[in-house]
Every structure is written in C-alpha cells, then in structure tokens.
Amino acid sequence: MGEALLTREAVFDALAENVAIQALRAAHPEAITNAKFDRGELTLVIAADQIRAACRTLQQAGYNFLEDVTCVDWYPVEPRFQVTYHILSHKMKERVRLHAMVESIDPSVDSITPVWPAANYYEREVWDLFGVRFHGHPGLRRIMMPEEWEGHPLRKDYPVEGYR
Amino acid sequence: MADNPHAPEIPGFTETATLVKPRPEEGPKDRTMVLNMGPQHPSTHGVLRVVLEIDGETVVKLVPDIGYLHTGIEKTCEAKFWQQVVPLTDRIDYLCPMTNNLCYCLAGEKLLQLEIPARAQWMRVLLNELTRLNSHLVWLGTHAMDIGALTVFLYTFREREEILRIFEHVSGQRMMTSYFRIGGLALEPPLDFFSSVQSLVKILPEKIDEYENLLTGNPIFINRLKGVGYLSAEDAISLGVTGPPLRASGVDWDLRRDMPYTSYEKFQFKVPVSNDGDVWARYLVRLQEMRESVKICQQALDGMPEGSIKADAPHVVLPDREKMKTQMESLIYHFKIVTEGFQVPAGEVYQAVESPRGEMGYYAVSDGTAKPYRVHMRNPSFATLQALETMCVGRLIADVVAVIGSIDIVLGEIDR
C-alpha cells in the first residue's frame, strides 16, 4: 500500500494520472481544499458549497455509482460535521471518497439527489441521526427514529443510553 | 389524517400516511384509495410498512416506511472496544452473519494493516459461500411461499438446517456465529468439519436441481414472475441497487471478482448476469449463484492451505489458551487485550464485500484509541428498497409481494 500521502500537493504529485483528481481540477480548480491517500484509499475534501457540482463532474468522468453517504461528528472541533461520500466507478474499478466539512451552526449542505437519486435515503438518514440538512432534497424526513423524536442520536454530545 | 386533532405539534413533523392521499376531487371514476401494508404482514419479510395508493388493484404510488427495528447499532459500536463490535455485526443481518463479521474484520485489519494467513482467508471464503447458500435458501423458500408454492419452503429449510448445523459445529452458534476476529479466526475448525462440509457440498447440486424441478417449469410460478417488477440498468445504478437485482438488470458487476478481497482472486467462478430485469431474471440469477457458490466451496475444500489461523500480531490477536498456561507474555497480552482493548492507528477506511444481497460496506473511522470513533454500515437492502416504487408502480398489489420477495430484503439490516 505504500506510504500515506497526507497533503494536497503530495497527492496531486503522486496521483497526477487519477481520473477523479484530473476531472475535478479541470472543472473546479478551487473545489479540492485538501486531499489524502492513506491505506490505498483516496480522500478528497471538497468545499461544501461545491459538492453537488463536484459530484456531477465525477459522474461525467466515469464514477457512475454512489455507494454511500454518511457523516462523522468531530465535536467539539469546528467545522464539526464531516459529510462523507463514497463513489465507485464500475469501469475503472476504483473508488473515491469525498468529504464536505459543515459548521455546527445551522449545519446544511446541498443535496446530491439531483445527481444520484440513490442519495435520497442516505441523506434522510444523515438528517435523522446527525441533524445535517440537505438543500434541495425531495422529502427530508426522519427515517430511522420516530417522526416526533427530539435530538439526533449519532451526535457525539448525545448520550449512548439516551435521555431518560 | 392531516387534521388529526391528536397529532403532536412539532415543526417538520410529517406522518407517513399523509404523504399518500386519496383523491376524491377527481370524481368517483378516478377515485383512488390508500392501503396500509404491514408492518406486521407475512410477505414483507420482517417489519416493513408500505403505504400504497391504489386505483382498483393497480398501484399508483408506494411509500416504504422503515425504522421499526432501529436499535442504534452504529451508536453502540462507538462505546465498545474494537473486538467487542464483532458480535454486534451478526445482529445486523441475521441471514448472513459471517459476511458481516468478515466485512467488519477486513475493515479493522485494513486500519491496522495486518497480514492474514492463507488458511484463515480460505476458511473465510468457504464460510462466506456457505452463508450465501444459507441466505439464498431462505430467500428461495420464502419467495416461493409468497407466490403460493408452499412445498419449496420445506425442501430449502431441510438443506439450510444442514448448513446451520455446520455453523454450530464450527462456531458454537447456529445463527449469531461471531466466528471471525480482527486478525483471523476465533478457533481452529474441529477435526470432522471439512468432511461434513464435503458431504453437504456433494449433495447440494442435485438438491438445487430438485428446487428447479419444482419451480422453473411451473407455469403458475412463471406467470407470476415473468415481466413483473422491471428495473432497467440505468435505474438500478442511479438508485444504488447492488447484488443479484443489479446483475439481473444486465450490469456485470460482482465485488468478489472485480475488487477481490480475502483471496477471492484465487477462485474460479462465473458471475451470472441477465438482461431481463424482472423478478424472473432475479430468480434465475440467484439460482445460478447458488451453483457457483457450491463450486467455490469445493475449490476451497480441495485447496485449503495448512498453517496458522491467526495473524502474527500479539497486541491484537488473543493468544492460544495453551500458551497462556506456560508463557508469561501471552498471559499479559491476553489481560491487556481483554481489559483495555487494542489501539488502532488513526485513519479511515471503507471496505466493501459482496453479501448475498449486494454490496455491503463498512466505513470505520479510528481516532487512535481502543474504541472505534465511528462505524457505519452501507447495507444493500437499504439502497435496494429505494427502487421498490420504480418496480411496483403500474402493477397489481399481488405483484408488490412478488417484487418484495425478489429483492430479498432483511429489515434488520435496513434499520440497524
């Protein structure tokens, strides 16, 4: 697997041939704010306001399949929420991970359902369990918890046993 | 329902039933009604609730409502040591516990960058293919029962019982096996394990012929399945469908072959694909898959390497019982792992495996401590359920039952 590459410049140098990096740098030169290549997996941090455009570019570049959308709560660090996308290319047999970092005050990011309808349930799950809203989602409702539930259980400041 | 006086006043609150409304304003001729199917319905394979808008018997709209089995496994993982998460992964999908164990262990091993001995890897392949057979046998029995062919269920559960007996023999548990560990396997398989698997693998092809004799030529079964629940390849990809439903829609993609893990690259097998995209195609693809799984099992039995079943990493893998009685270091390592866990270097990985239902992925994040910072499961049923409406709209209610059976959902996996 080789050494981990932890800075954007190192990743850009070492993986200059990578289709995802090439396509994103050509279409949105400012979109990639950081990058990492660790344990054989490529991670690109995308500016949160450009995530939908970046996904569309990747889709056109051959990354045709959205595998997963989820979130990690880095409380109390800001930006707190790391919305994570895993995108796969059936043709290149390659996976790329995108991060969109979201602040804790009114956490929200653009929905990617216009690009991949598959994001629908995943984004509802992230809203339900983390409280991150998605602009342009066709029906952002709770999916796991009861509809009248208060709070978002997977946040780090939510106790494991819940409130009693 | 919208003007229910007892409805709690909460901003953003939407009752699922209010999303589907009858439309009396369109006149008595076009009047549609709302039908609530589930959560306790025998053909929804668990606690799935589906709200249907129907015009006569034709489905106009369909909204799945899930979450009845939500147990917060992802939250629980964050409070456990890395090795304590393995038994939780069984409970996600009770039909393929070994696949869940495997996916989680592979993710942990990738974070730790552990090298796993060949014997452990081949054992994992063998048990995973048995798990696939086990899951497909349950699917075949219940799917045929939903359609009205009750006999098949008794036949498939006969063979499933044999597989569960093997699981009990090797791990001590029929269903919640927890047999894999980060770093290898829990135990060396018992002495007569391989011979009992061999005798099962020998009879399975003719048993599959037997199921096919009952179903494949049966005109009632064919009429209920052919042309029902069509899903195009484009829709399947854009809706995140994986596994047999994706291959039945004509997309030739199998993680075991295309992104091999745990030494699947050393096995020869075909990936069955169909272009029809209907329930019948999914039935044929899964039956073919069962035959291929039998072949993989046979290859694993024939070429099973000798050697250790655990990685050489004393700070992660529990020592042998015998060594603990004679060696001080083993005792210390055992005590340390059990009481304070082992630390996993910071980082994040996503590991995907081909489960019987499609792509199962574990996204694990470590912050360098002995407990996972975050474990997320990407479950195939959860994504495939999104395609249910596309497959059912315009068809009859009875076809909804056939389609739900054909995508082979497990609700424990959807709700986690």
Q: Do the Cβ atoms of A107 and A131 come closer than 8 Å?
A: yes
Does B39 sit behind a cis peptide bond, omega within 30 degrees of 0 on the bond before it? yes
A vs B: CB pairs below 8 A: 100
The Cα B223–Cα B207 span in angstroms is 24
Q: Do A72 and B374 touch (CB under 8 A)?
A: yes
Q: Do B237 and A65 touch (CB under 8 A)?
A: yes
Measure in Å the smallest separation between the Cα of A63 and chain B Cα atoms. Answer: 11
Query: Running along chain B, 416 residues long, what does each successive block of 10 average in pLDDT?
Result: 52 62 56 79 78 85 88 90 90 88 92 90 92 92 88 90 91 88 88 91 91 87 87 90 91 90 90 90 91 92 89 86 87 90 90 91 91 91 90 88 88 86
Q: Which of A1, A58, A143, A158 to mutate to test the interface with B (most CBs of B within 10 A)?
A: A143
Q: Do the Cβ atoms of B381 and B357 come closer than 8 Å?
A: yes
Q: How confident is the model at residue B2, as a pLDDT?
A: 45
Domain boundaries, chain A: 8-105
Residue of B280, B233, B225, B279 whose CA lies nearest to B252: B233
Domain boundaries, chain B: 73-316+343-415
Residue of B355, B400, B387 whose CA lies nearest to B103: B355
Strands (E) located in B176-304: 180-181, 184-185
Q: What is the CA radius of gyration of chain A?
A: 16
Q: Do B19 and A86 touch (CB under 8 A)?
A: no
Measure in Å the smallest separation between the Cα of A14 and chain B Cα atoms. Answer: 20
Query: What residues have CB less than 8 Å from B203, skipping those under 6 apart?
Result: none
Residues B102, B104, B106, B109: is their CA dihedral positive or negative?
negative
The Cα A125–Cα A108 span in angstroms is 14
A92 in contact with B at a CB cutoff of 8 Å? no
Q: Output the furthest CA–CA distance in chain B (Å, rounded).
A: 85
Residue of A136, A140, A119 whose CA lies nearest to A128: A140
Residue of B133, B130, B137 whose CA lies nearest to B152: B137
Give Cα A45 distance to the centre of its chain: 8
The Cα A154–Cα A134 span in angstroms is 17
**The architecture CATH gives domain A8-105:** 2-Layer Sandwich (3.30)
Q: Do B70 and A144 touch (CB under 8 A)?
A: yes
Residue of B6, B62, B54 whose CA lies nearest to B31: B54
Residue of B210, B141, B53, B125 whose CA lies nearest to B408: B141
Q: Which of B252, B349, B374 to mutate to test the interface with A (most CBs of A within 10 A)?
A: B374
- For the stretch B340-397, pLDDT in tens is 988 899 899 999 999 999 899 999 999 989 999 999 999 999 989 999 988 888 888 8
Residue of A nearest to B366 (CA): A72
Phi-psi region of B67 (alpha: psi -120 to 50; beta: other; left: phi over 0): left
Chain A, residues 27-86, CB within 8 A of chain B, namely 38-41, 43, 64-68, 70, 72-73, 84, 86
Measure in Å the smallest separation between the Cα of B365 and chain A Cα atoms. Answer: 8
Burial zone of B239 (CB within 10 Å; 0-12 exposed, 13-18 middle, 19+ buried): buried
B361 in contact with A at a CB cutoff of 8 Å? yes
Does B42 sit behind a cis peptide bond, omega within 30 degrees of 0 on the bond before it? no
- Please give the CATH number for the structural domain made up of B73-316+343-415: 1.10.645.10
Helices B118-147, B397-407: axis angle to 10 degrees equals 170
The Cα B128–Cα B61 span in angstroms is 38
Nearest CB to A68: which of B13, B110, B361? B361
- Angle CA A8–A14–A16, to nearest 5: 90
For B210, how many CA atoms within 13 A lie in the half-sphere containing its CB? 15
ipTM of this predicted structure: 0.91
The Cα A12–Cα B230 span in angstroms is 43
Chain A residues with CB under 8 Å of B8 CB are: 148
A108 in contact with B at a CB cutoff of 8 Å? no
Instruction: Identify the helix (H) or strand (E) that includes residue A19.
Output: helix A19-27
The Cα B143–Cα B49 span in angstroms is 18
Per-residue pLDDT tens listing for chain A (164 residues): 567 787 877 887 888 788 888 888 888 888 888 888 888 888 999 988 889 999 999 999 889 899 999 999 998 888 889 999 999 999 888 899 999 999 888 898 999 999 999 999 999 999 999 989 998 888 888 888 888 888 888 988 888 887 76
Does B11 sit behind a cis peptide bond, omega within 30 degrees of 0 on the bond before it? no
